[in-house]
Homo-oligomer: A and B are copies of this chain.
Amino acid sequence: MSYFKHHVFFCCNQRGPGETCCNNHGASDLQTYAKERVAELKLKGPGKVRINKAGCLDRCDQGPVMVVYPEAVWYTYVDKSDIDEIIEEHLKNGRVVERLKV
C-alpha cells in the first residue's frame, strides 16, 4: 500500500518575466490553500493525503499543473473553486475530476 493514499505535487516553478510558468498562475498560493484545506478537513497524514510543492514538472505549456500519485492523474486549475473540487471529489471521494485533467 502506498505510504500516502494520495500524494499531490504542485509545480511551483518560477521562471523569468514573460516566460510561461506555473508560479505566474498562482501555484504557490493555491498549494498553500490546498494544504490548509486538507488539514482542516482532517484528510492529512500517512495513509491519507500529502500536499507538496515541487520544482518544474516539465509541463509548462499546460500549467499550472499538479499531479496526484500513485494514480498519476494530472490536473490544471484556475482558482480556489477548482482546488476545492479536486479535494472534495478526488482526494476525499476518490473520483477523478475529468474536466480539469491534462
Contacts and interface: CB of A to CB of B under 8 A. Distances in A.
Interface of A: 2-3, 7, 9, 46, 50, 52-59, 67, 69-72, 74
Contacts of A58: 46, 50
B70 A3 contact: no
A53 B50 contact: no
Q: Which 4 A-B pairs have the closest CB atoms?
A: A69-B69, A2-B72, A53-B55, A70-B72
Nearest to A44: B58
Nearest to A56: B52
Query: Chain A at the B interface: mostly helix, strand, loop or mixed?
Result: loop
A76 to B, nearest CB: 13
Contact of A69 (B53, B55, B56, B70): B70
B52 A54 contact: yes
